Amino acid sequence: MSINLQQVPAVDVHCHPFVAPEKPHTVESFLNTLSLSVIPDMFTKQDISENGIVPGMNMYLQLTIRRLAQFFQCEPHIEAVVEARNQHAEDYANYTQSLYQDANITGMIVDYGYPVPHIPKADFEQTAGFHTFEIYRIEPVMEHYGAQCKTFTEFKQAYYDDLLQTLQRPDVVGLKSIIAYRSGLEVLPKDEDKAADAYATFRNDTRAAVKPLRDYCMHLAMEACTETDKVMHIHTGVGDGEVVLPKASPSLLIDMLRTPKYSQTKVHFVHGGYPWMEEAAFITSILPNVYMDISLQIPFAGHGAKRILSTVFEFAPFDKVMFGSDCFSAPEMNWLAAKLVRQDLTEILETWVERDYMDENMAQEIGEMVLYRNFERVYQDAIAACSSK
């Protein structure tokens, strides 16, 4: 079998910036850094077993430890790995870049709206070792103008102008919303009167649901992306511990996406709707300008990566799925995601060839599409604009 994805470059289409830790990691702090949990004391070393099992550890964390042990050439035990990691990470930029080179990660779309306080783009690019594209998160923009603008009329104009102005930057590929964390993905038709009525509540509490206002701002973001031919990224599915999970299914977006005025708007489902990836995949198969990535579910579902990839391709077109990680605190996240995708996607593609679903050339091309070619096609205008600078 000649399918080989090891030398194929990977572009991470959804991740966040990070900085070096202020001090060397302990076992507890390293696991907390890698975890989706928002509970500070999720892990306690005092309860570690003789085989290195820490209460709260799952397969994603175990895979990270095991693969890092191979990278460091140390014992595959949490304490040995953390010690080796601290030594390698003394020069954090060099360590990060060595991981990215090992995983052949060559580019990223980064949401600089998280974490807070914000990490400057130039600082993170120095750590990563390459230029990054930016996705501009709308919720901080709402909060900024909510604090500045006394009236809804002032707010809506300032907010929309900011989106349009930012989208003119060649390195900004589109907008992103985390409305699933606030009022949910069932975005109702734009109602300016109800949005105006909710504005005072929003000014007092920027994390309030205020659904009419958030839906209104979501529509303005969709309109801005439509006008500028940029991509609207929407968080779908699971996230950290604060996501409103019952309202995070991508199927809730279907009515908005079917609206005729958005028929040409490019939409990118961040996290592919996991655990509702079948719904996300189906939607990408029926709406021509909707795409999905496999971030967060890979690497955080650990050994489930192979099942996830196979499930996604039950419906999703080959040209609609992109690699991503949702890395948010440490380079091991991007690195492990790329490792898992290459390994498991190769096994899936080889099975398809063995069963005579396709030949090796097509299978190889599909693997390359997921890792970087789909990114290059969907975001070709941004790539061209930045290349010409």
Residue 49 belongs to a domain: yes
Q: Is the domain of 155 the same as that of 82?
A: no
Predicted pLDDT of residue 385: 83
Euclidean distance between CA atoms 31 and 15, whole angstroms: 19
Q: Is the domain of 247 the same as that of 109?
A: yes
Contact 299, 35 (CB under 8 A): no
Predicted pLDDT of residue 240: 80
Q: Is the domain of 203 the same as that of 342?
A: yes
Q: Is the domain of 173 the same as that of 124?
A: yes
Predicted pLDDT of residue 113: 96
Q: Which long-range contacts (CB under 8 A, 24 or more apart) does 138-143 make?
A: 138/163, 138/175, 138/176, 138/177, 138/217, 138/218, 138/221, 139/113, 139/177, 139/178, 139/179, 139/182, 140/113, 142/202, 142/206, 142/214, 142/217, 143/206
Render pLDDT for 344-382 as a digit per residue (tens, 0 to 9): 999 999 999 999 999 999 999 999 999 999 999 999 988
Contact 191, 216 (CB under 8 A): yes
Q: Is the domain of 297 the same as that of 190?
A: yes
Residue 16 belongs to a domain: no
What CATH number should be reported for the domain holding residue 262?
A: 3.20.20.140
Q: Is the domain of 142 the same as that of 286?
A: yes
Euclidean distance between CA atoms 95 and 335, whole angstroms: 12
Residue 191 belongs to a domain: yes
Predicted pLDDT of residue 39: 58
Predicted pLDDT of residue 381: 87
Residue 93 belongs to a domain: no
Residue 94 belongs to a domain: no
Predicted pLDDT of residue 56: 85
Q: Is the domain of 207 the same as that of 115?
A: yes
Predicted pLDDT of residue 40: 60
Q: Is the domain of 72 the same as that of 150?
A: no
Residue 10 belongs to a domain: no
Q: What would the two tokens of residue 320 be?
A: 């609609």
Predicted pLDDT of residue 54: 85
Q: Is the domain of 28 the same as that of 177?
A: no
Predicted pLDDT of residue 155: 99
What percentage of the chain has pLDDT greater than the value 70?
97
CA distances in angstroms from 217 to 27, 52, 88, 149, 266, listed in the order given: 42, 48, 44, 15, 17
Render pLDDT for 229-274 as a digit per residue (tens, 0 to 9): 999 999 999 998 778 899 999 999 999 999 999 999 999 999 999 9
Residue 2 belongs to a domain: no
Q: What is the mean pLDDT of the chain?
A: 95
Euclidean distance between CA atoms 389 and 384, whole angstroms: 9
Render pLDDT for 169-221 as a digit per residue (tens, 0 to 9): 999 999 999 999 999 999 999 999 999 999 999 999 999 999 999 999 999 99
Q: Is the domain of 330 the same as that of 191?
A: yes
Q: Which domain holds residue 40?
A: 23-88
State the residue for tokens 């060649």: 170
Contact 173, 230 (CB under 8 A): yes
Of 88, 113, 142, which residue sits at a domain end?
88
Residues 6+ apart with CB under 8 A from 301: 60, 274, 308
Closest by CA to 129, choosing from 94, 87, 79, is 94
Q: How many domains does the chain fold into?
A: 2
Euclidean distance between CA atoms 347 and 130, whole angstroms: 30
Euclidean distance between CA atoms 186 and 154, whole angstroms: 26
SS3 for 37?
coil
Render pLDDT for 35-46 as a digit per residue (tens, 0 to 9): 987 656 666 666
Residue 12 belongs to a domain: no
Euclidean distance between CA atoms 6 and 10, whole angstroms: 10
Q: Is the domain of 148 the same as that of 58?
A: no
Q: Is the domain of 35 the same as that of 152?
A: no
Of 35, 62, 88, which residue sits at a domain end?
88
Of 88, 114, 142, which residue sits at a domain end?
88
Q: What would the two tokens of residue 19 be?
A: 């900085």
